[in-house]
Structure 1
């Protein structure tokens, strides 16, 4: 392989890894934004580690670190860094595939735990004193107000102690209250599904870029190995 080809592969490795690094940084920023503005985290406790915002932050952080190694390895023509980058990126891609398969296989089980968590949060809200469990109360009120829903399956879940956030009127001070008819379970599941769809689209895009980075690293690494270069 002549020097012009080496420079071409080197430029491709650096540019694609830098692009991947930027994607990872954007994913981290977007995940942090969701974590700050989210009003639903306290209601879904079973799957807190795979909450969309948490998933974005963790995945983006790992991607930025791995791609940074790739950028440095390409720029410095360092075979040790390229080897580390190749191994870490390969493992990261396997983890991403494993997570996708888990969500695909256990989607029904996830829905069951989702419903259970919401019911537990509703019961905590219903049985709490006026000043107790403020975080859960605020989050549940925010969900009902934002999605125009009431309870988990409907108004009956509150067993007569329906909060003002279920009311269709604002302000809710008329003698005969009217409440939202739909429960929040289906609406929240659709919201989470939309978030995971967006997250999945981003992960697939990064996966494609990662696969290309992995593929073009091989000829560059082989050239360094053949010439005995890359450890200086």
Structure 2
């Protein structure tokens, strides 16, 4: 490989690694944005490790750190950084594939835990005192108001003690008041499904970029080795 081709390959690799780094940073920012603007995590405690916002932040942080190694390795022509980048990114891609398989295989079990957690949160809301479990109360009220739903399966879940957040009118001043009859389980599940769809699309896009980065890193590393560049 002549010098001009090597310089061109180095430029392509560096820019691709930088693009991968930007994707990771964007994913982290999106995850933080979801954490700030969605207050449903306290209702679904079993589900929190695969909560969309948590998944985005963790995945994006790892990708950002790994791709930073690739950018530095390409710019400094450092074999140590490039091989470290290659190994870490390959492991990360395997983990992403494993996570995708887990979601596909255990999707029904996840739905079951989803329903159980919502029912548990509703019971805590019902049985707690006025000043207790304020986080769960506020989050459940926010869900019912935002999605225009009531209870988990319907207003009957509250057993006659329906909170004001179920009221159809806004503001709700009448007693008794009309309540939303549709449960929050289906609406919340659909909301999570849409979030995971966008998350999945982002992960697939990142996976493709990562695969291209791996494919181009190999010939660049071989070129550095033939030129006798060190690991410093």
TM-score of Structure 1 vs Structure 2, range by shorter chain:
over 0.9
Provide structure 1 residue ranges, at least 5 long, that are not aligned to the other structure: none
Q: What does 1:92-103 align with in structure 2 at a 5 Å threshold? A: 92-103=92-103
Residue of structure 2 equivalent to 1:65: 65
By how many angstroms is 1:182 displaced? 0.6
After TM superposition, where is structure 1 displaced by more than 4 Å over at least 4 residues in a row? none
For the pair 1:125 / 2:125, whether they are aligned, the reply is yes
Q: What does 1:20-169 align with in structure 2 at a 5 Å threshold? A: 20-169=20-169
Worse overlay, 111-120 or 41-50: 41-50
Residue of structure 2 equivalent to 1:171: 171
By how many angstroms is 1:160 displaced? 0.7
Residue of structure 1 equivalent to 2:181: 181
By how many angstroms is 1:231 displaced? 2.2
Residue by residue, what CA displacement relative to the aligned partner does 1:56-111 show, whole Å, maximum 9, x if unpaired?
Answer: 10000000000000000000111111000000000000000100110011000000
Q: Whole-Å Cα distance in 2 between the matches of residues 125 and 45 of structure 1?
A: 15
By how many angstroms is 1:128 displaced? 0.6
Provide structure 2 residue ranges, at least 5 long, that are not aligned to the other structure: none
Scaled by the length of structure 2, the TM-score of the pair is 0.98
Residue of structure 2 equivalent to 1:200: 200
How many residues align structurally? Answer: 232
SS in 2 for 1:228: coil
Q: Whole-Å Cα distance in 2 between the matches of residues 191 and 21 of structure 1?
A: 28
By how many angstroms is 1:33 displaced? 1.2
By how many angstroms is 1:37 displaced? 1.6
